[in-house]
C-alpha cells in the first residue's frame, strides 16, 4: 500500500517513521511547504518523492492513502480534497474547526467507502486500552466520576487556546472509556496575558447517567502533570502518564452506604473500605505504531477505526461547547437533544433560558455550536444555553 504524509514539521516525521517500518506499506510521498524540512527528510527517506503541493499527490492514482499532520486550520480543506480524490485519510486532531466541516468529511468518506481515521493517539496507548478492558470487565463497578489534570509550563500557541491545544487528548479518552452520552458542558477560563486565548481552563461535562467528568488544563503550571482519576463503586483507578513503569494503579478503596431510620431520624452510615493496590501489566507497543497499523488494517478489512470521524466530530462539538460556556461566564451549554452527541440536523437557534425557564434571548448559528455569543443579553441571570433542534 502506498501512503503519503502531508506535513512533516513536528508530528509528521513520527508518522513517516512508523509507516516506513511496516512491511506492507510504502511511503511514496513527503509533502510540506517548508523546503528545508523536505530536504532534511529526503536525506533519511531517499526513496520517497517530495513536493510542496499536496494536490500533486492527489493526482497520483498509485497513492492509496494520506496521513495529514498540518495545522488545524488546513485540516478540512486537505482532507476533503483527499477524500474526493479517492484517498483513505488519517487526519491529525482536532478533526476540523467546526462540527459542520466534520460532518461533511464523514459524509464524503462514507459515500465513497473510504476509511477516515482521526489521530487521537492516546486511545492507542497500552494504558488507555487496558483501562478500557478493566471498565468493560466491570472491575471498577459503576463509574462515578472522571477527573483529569493536564498542566505544564507552555507551550503557548499563537492560534488556539489551551482548550483546543490540550483538551482533545482527554476528551477523546473520556469518549472512548465512558461512551458518547454527554449532555451538557460548563467551563471557565482565563487569559493571563493580553490575549483573547485562554491559558488555563476548568471544564465540567455532564452525562445522561448523572455522572460527571472534570478537566483542569493549564499552560502556566510550574510542574508537568498528566493524570486521570476514575472513581468506581467497587474500586478506583489512577492513570499517571508520566510514570515510567506503573502508569495504572487500581485501588481497592471506596465507601459503603447504609441508610437507617432510628427514632424517626434519618441517618446515613458511611463505612470506608481500604484494600490492596495493584498495577496491571500494560502493552508497551508504541501508541503511534499501533495506530498506524490499525489504520492500514481498517483500510484492508473495511472496518471502522477506533477513532473514526464520529469520535472526531464529538470531540470538536465538545470543544465548541466549552468555548461557548466560557464566553457565557461558565453557564451550562446543553448538547443536541437525545444525549448521545451524535450527528443531527443543523441548529438554527440557541435559546437562552432564565431561572424560571422562560426564554430571554437567542443566538443564531449555522450548525451545531458554530456561532458563539459575542455580547450578553440584558435580563435576568441565565440558567443555561440549550441547543434545541
The residue extents of the domains of the chain are 2-120+287-307, 123-278, 333-387
CATH fold for the domain made of 123-278? Dihydrodipicolinate Reductase; domain 2 (3.30.360)
Cα distance between residue 90 and residue 83, in whole Å: 11
Answer for the pair 367, 100: CB distance below 8 angstroms, yes or no.
yes
Bridge partners (DSSP) of residue 143 are 232
pLDDT, the chain, mean? 86
> Higher confidence at residue 23 or residue 365?
23
Average pLDDT for residues 124-150, to the nearest whole number?
A: 97
Q: Quick: pLDDT tens for 85-105.
A: 999 999 999 999 999 999 999
Q: How far is CA 102 from the centre of its chain?
A: 13
Q: How far is CA 119 from the centre of its chain?
A: 9
Specify the pTM.
0.84
Answer for the pair 27, 20: CB distance below 8 angstroms, yes or no.
yes
Instruction: Provide the pLDDT confidence category of residue 158 given band limits of 50, 70 and 90.
Output: confident
Q: Quick: pLDDT tens for 170-220.
A: 999 999 999 888 999 999 999 988 678 999 999 999 999 889 999 999 999
113: left (phi over 0), alpha (psi -120 to 50) or beta: left
> Per-residue pLDDT for 265 more than 80?
no
% of the chain with per-residue pLDDT over 90: 75
Instruction: Provide the pLDDT confidence category of residue 159 given band limits of 50, 70 and 90.
Output: confident
Average pLDDT for residues 129-152, to the nearest whole number?
A: 97
The values of phi and psi at residue 123, to 5°, are -60, -25
The C-alpha cell of 315 is what? Answer: 470531540
Nearest to 184 by CA among 372, 342, 387: 387
Cα distance between residue 205 and residue 184, in whole Å: 6
Instruction: Provide the pLDDT confidence category of residue 367 given band limits of 50, 70 and 90.
Output: very low
Predicted local confidence at residue 261, as pLDDT = 55
> Per-residue pLDDT for 337 more than 60?
no
Can you identify the CATH homologous superfamily of domain 2-120+287-307? NAD(P)-binding Rossmann-like Domain (3.40.50.720)
Most confident of 83-87, 269-273, 338-342: 83-87
Average pLDDT for residues 160-177, to the nearest whole number?
A: 95
> Per-residue pLDDT for 381 more than 60?
no
Least confident interval from 115-124, 197-206, 294-303, 370-379: 370-379
% of the chain with per-residue pLDDT over 70: 83
> Per-residue pLDDT for 348 more than 50?
no
Least confident interval from 105-119, 249-263, 290-304: 249-263
Predicted local confidence at residue 345, as pLDDT = 28
Predicted local confidence at residue 267, as pLDDT = 56
> Per-residue pLDDT for 342 more than 70?
no
Number of Cα atoms under 13 Å in the Cβ half of residue 356: 4
> Per-residue pLDDT for 63 more than 90?
yes
> Per-residue pLDDT for 286 more than 50?
yes
Amino acid at each position: 500500500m502506498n501512503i503519503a504524509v502531508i506535513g512533516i514539521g513536528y508530528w509528521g516525521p513520527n508518522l513517516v517513521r512508523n509507516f516506513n517500518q511496516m512491511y506492507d506499506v510504502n511511503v511514496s510521498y513527503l509533502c510540506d511547504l517548508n523546503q528545508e524540512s523536505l530536504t532534511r527528510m529526503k536525506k533519511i527517506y531517499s526513496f520517497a518523492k517530495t513536493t510542496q503541493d499536496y494536490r500533486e499527490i492527489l493526482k497520483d492514482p498509485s497513492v492509496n492513502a494520506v496521513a495529514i499532520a498540518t495545522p488545524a486550520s488546513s485540516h478540512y480543506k486537505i482532507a476533503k480534497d483527499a477524500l474526493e480524490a479517492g484517498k483513505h485519510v488519517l487526519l491529525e486532531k482536532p478533526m476540523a474547526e467546526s462540527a459542520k466541516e466534520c460532518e461533511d468529511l464523514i459524509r464524503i468518506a462514507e459515500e465513497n467507502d473510504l476509511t477516515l481515521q482521526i489521530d487521537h493517539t492516546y486511545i492507542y496507548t497500552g494504558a488507555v486500552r487496558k483501562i478500557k478492558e478493566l471498565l468493560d470487565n466491570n472491575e471498577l463497578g459503576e463509574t462515578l466520576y472522571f477527573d483529569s489534570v493536564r498542566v505544564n509550563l507552555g507551550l503557548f500557541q499563537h492560534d488556539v487556546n489551551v482548550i483546543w491545544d490540550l483538551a482533545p487528548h482527554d476528551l477523546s479518552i473520556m469518549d472512548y472509556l465512558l461512551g458518547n452520552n454527554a449532555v451538557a458542558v460548563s467551563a471557565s477560563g482565563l487569559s493571563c496575558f493580553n490575549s483573547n486565548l485562554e491559558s488555563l481552563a476548568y471544564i465540567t461535562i455532564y452525562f445522561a447517567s448523572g455522572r460527571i467528568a472534570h478537566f483542569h488544563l493549564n499552560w502556566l503550571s510550574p510542574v508537568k502533570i498528566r493524570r486521570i482519576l476514575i472513581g468506581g463503586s467497587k474500586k478506583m483507578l489512577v492513570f499517571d502518564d508520566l510514570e515510567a513503569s506503573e502508569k495504572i494503579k487500581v485501588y481497592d478503596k471506596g465507601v459503603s452506604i447504609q441508610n437507617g431510620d432510628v427514632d424517626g431520624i434519618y441517618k446515613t452510615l458511611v463505612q470506608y473500605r481500604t484494600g490492596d493496590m495493584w498495577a496491571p501489566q500494560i502493552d508497551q507497543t508504541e501508541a503511534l505504531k499501533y495506530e498506524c497499523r490499525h489504520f492500514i488494517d481498517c483500510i484492508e478489512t473495511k472496518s471502522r477505526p477506533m477513532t473514526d470521524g464520529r469520535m472526531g466530530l464529538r470531540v470538536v462539538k465538545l470543544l465548541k461547547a466549552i468555548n461557548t460556556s466560557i464566553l457565557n461566564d461558565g453557564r451550562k451549554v446543553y448538547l443536541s437533544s437525545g444525549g448521545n452527541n451524535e450527528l443531527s440536523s443543523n441548529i438554527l437557534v440557541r435559546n437562552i433560558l432564565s431561572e424560571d425557564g422562560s426564554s430571554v434571548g437567542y443566538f443564531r448559528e449555522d450548525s451545531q455550536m458554530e456561532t458563539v455569543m459575542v455580547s450578553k443579553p440584558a435580563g435576568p441571570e441565565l440558567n443555561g444555553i440549550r441547543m434545541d433542534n
